[in-house]
Amino acid sequence: MTAARGVLLCPITMRLLLQSLFFLLLLLLGSCLHPAVAFPKGCYPSEEEGLKTFRCSNAQLTEVPRDIPNDTNKLYLDFNQIPFLPRDAFRDLPLLLELDLSHNAIARIETGAFQGLAEHLHSLDLSSNRLVSVSKDAFSNLKAKVNLSNNPWLCDCRLQELIRVVELAADSSGGIVCDSSTQEEHVGKAFLQVIADTDFCNVYKKTTDIAMLVTMFGWFAMVISYLVYYVRQNQEDARRHLEYLKSLPSKQRRSEESSTISTVV
């Protein structure tokens, strides 16, 4: 009786074991085909108007996330605390069309931050950040329409050069206001209004040229002063020596006079 029961239990045990192995295999295959992606808290992918979108709005981010899907078309990083954009911050997003970085704390943009986006990106929003001065090289070859409004800009030649190389987003130019300026009367005014009458880069060049001229004149005056001093000093020494010779006996005086004259000549 006991032997018969053991015979019946073996097939059942084998079947349960096989079922367990089968389900474990399915789980392993599922994890390989659909790997889990740990997005930053507050970030999620979606699809909007047929475009793959990745939203991280108001997610308390302090840097650009690294695990953004590389087929993303629209990226929203607005209303965070991102302080700066490092080089190659978006290089793994070759299909990116729109990038919203508005309402952050961005105060510095490294050259090459938008590297890899030149071909496809057509909208870049950097409004409401803490940008004071940015090199034009940071936007090199970028064809996107850029919103630079509502930043504490320093109005100078550097900003003027930047405005010349970027294409401003529609209706955003009036928001580029001088928070500070090399000329106090421009503070609080729209930058495009200011540069209609003032060329910051030419003013800087003129100031530099004047400084160089003043420096050269100073050196020239020093050289002339030294030459005048040197000549006068030699003349005074020669005069004293001649007076000394006059006080000597005639033969010795003639000999030393000729020596002095040949020396002076």
**Domain 44-198 CATH class label:** alpha beta
Q: Is the dihedral of CA 81, 111, 155, 125 positive or negative?
A: negative
Residue 125 forms beta bridges with which residues? Answer: 100, 147
Q: What is the mean pLDDT of residues 189-218?
A: 70
Question: How far, in Å, CA of 24 to CA of 20, rounded?
Answer: 6
DSSP at 184: G
Question: How far, in Å, CA of 127 to CA of 172, rounded?
Answer: 9
Question: How far, in Å, CA of 10 to CA of 7, rounded?
Answer: 6
Question: How far, in Å, CA of 226 to CA of 219, rounded?
Answer: 11
Question: How far, in Å, CA of 135 to CA of 154, rounded?
Answer: 12
Token code pair at residue 37: 């992606």
What integer best gives the mean pLDDT of the chain? Answer: 79
Question: How far, in Å, CA of 119 to CA of 99, rounded?
Answer: 14
Q: How confident is the model at residue 210 (pLDDT cuts 50, 70, 90)?
A: very low
Listed residue (79, 83, 85) closest to 110, CA to CA: 85
pLDDT tens-place string over residues 42-80: 999 999 989 999 999 999 999 999 889 999 999 999 999
DSSP at 43: -
Vertex 136 angle, CA 198 and 73, to 5°? 125
Strands (E), the chain: 44-48, 51-55, 74-76, 84-85, 98-100, 108-109, 123-125, 145-147, 153-155, 167-168, 178-181
Q: Is the pLDDT of residue 150 over 60?
A: yes
Q: Compare 241 and 189 and report the one with higher pLDDT.
A: 189
Q: Compare 14 and 135 and report the one with higher pLDDT.
A: 135
Ordered DSSP codes for 108-149: EE-TTTTTT-TTT--EEE--SS--S---GGGGTT--SEEE--
* Domain range list for the chain: 44-198, 199-235
Q: Is the pLDDT of residue 30 over 60?
A: no
